[in-house]
A and B are shown apart, each in its own frame.
Chain A
């Protein structure tokens, strides 16, 4: 399995680059993951999304539905895509260290 190395931390990631050991997540890991999703710098807007996703995930064990994410963070979907070009599921959830959202069929 692939790995990413951030400082002295090595974390296993799956094929799509989602971390497999959520307990090792930290701010630096988030920054390293962001670079893999075309995000060079995590701004305040990025963190608003990431923090909300983490809080929701820790409370409910799943990622929120997109519509809820927009409502609760006060962001339009287009704005989320501006921050995370690969979208909330692939980009934002990965940076937030969440488990990979269920694939679509």
Chain B
């Protein structure tokens, strides 16, 4: 075991009342791998540069992804952190566990790796940090035994992920967890055997609050919505008005981005045709307002965070789709996108960038969708759209 070395620079990061990753690492410092990890990290702070090499290629038999190779260029000095690979594990939809399952996962990881975990990575996977190449197959075997599987990495379908949906949330307009499980099972090949130009993420949110931030991060965002009117409980509205905790005129009506609400001091009025599903009024008065009853999802395409190119927000592809098993329409759409992007996308070009390059019109024609007004970004301020604002509405 490596001798415990002082880490004065890292120790600074433990100061203050907030959580500290250094504090967490030190809890696991009985592992020689973590001890050396701390050593490498301290050195990085001294040298003001990282000492991890870019890109290793480590994997298990039958899969092209799921493990990300990490090698340390100071292997001689920190031999226990020379190989410190990352293992991605497909999380249960909605991130529900029993404590037994978490114990099992942690036991597997203490037997075969550094013991460090990350619940959860940005994609949503469970992350095991710090694996030696020689242990990967053993970890994989035990994970399978425990009912788990690796997640996606590389130019593949990344592990689909969703909000906790109907399990906990009254706003969920469809069962996000059922959909995510179904898509994960349907697209096992695309998930484990990379064959795309670049990564492809699918995230599902039950309502426009979009708790998994699908719109900003996912190449395909499936966001719950409704087609009819917001449900209003008039008695509860009166109680909100009488309670005085919320100023309905200032806090709700005046903040409606579509300007589609009215309040006369006694009853609330909503011009549902102009509602943009921002969820603000529903969030502000949860006992009085609720999404409509005719529920489904809007499918959006092209979101991504900044990596090679700049960030993009998703834009509407299908304004309303009913979300019921077996989700054939959605799957057909996904396959059509993959076929087109797979054949014509450049290496490391996300689907959003691809659409920008070839144009939305061409994209729609190729995947067999008709253009619709909902696909226009900001229609009310778009100079090509004739729009007559009604009185008192932006």
Contact = CB atoms under 8 A, between A and B. Distances in A.
B217 to A, nearest CB: 14
B291 to A, nearest CB: 37
Contacts of A67: 195-196, 342-343
B153 interface: yes
Given A87-B64, A104-B68, A104-B154, A16 B58 contact: yes
A89 B68 contact: no
B194 interface: yes
Majority SS at the chain B contact face: loop
A67 B155 CA distance: 11
Interface string B136-161: 00000000000000000111000000
A65 interface: yes
Contacts of A81: 62, 64, 193
Nearest to A102: B55
Contacts of A65: 197, 347
Contacts of A38: 61
A90 B55 contact: no
Contacts, number: 72
Nearest to A94: B57
Nearest to B61: A85
B115 interface: no
Interface string B185-227: 0000100011111010000000000000000000000000000
B361 interface: no
B307 interface: yes
Contacts of A88: 64
A89 B195 contact: no
Majority SS at the chain A contact face: loop
A10 B121 CA distance: 41
B335 to A, nearest CB: 14
Interface string A81-105: 1000111111000000000111111
B69 interface: yes
Contacts of A27: none
Given A100-B55, A103-B56, A15 B71 contact: yes
Given A67-B342, A103-B55, A16 B69 contact: yes
Interface in A51-71: 62, 65-67, 70
Interface residues of A, number: 24
B193 A87 contact: yes
A4 interface: no
A85 B59 CA distance: 10
B189 A77 contact: yes
B54 A66 contact: no
Nearest to B70: A103
B65 interface: yes
B353 interface: no
Interface in B277-310: 307
A71 to B, nearest CB: 9
Interface in B323-378: 342-343, 347
A23 B83 CA distance: 28
Contacts of A62: 347
B263 interface: no
Contacts of B343: 67
A103 B62 CA distance: 18
11 contacts: A15-B71, A62-B347, A66-B155, A66-B196, A67-B195, A67-B196, A87-B193, A90-B57, A104-B68, A104-B153, A104-B155
Interface of A: 15-16, 18, 38, 62, 65-67, 70, 77-78, 81, 85-90, 100-105
List the 7 closest A-B pairs by CB distance, nearest first: A103-B55, A104-B154, A87-B64, A85-B61, A66-B195, A16-B57, A90-B57
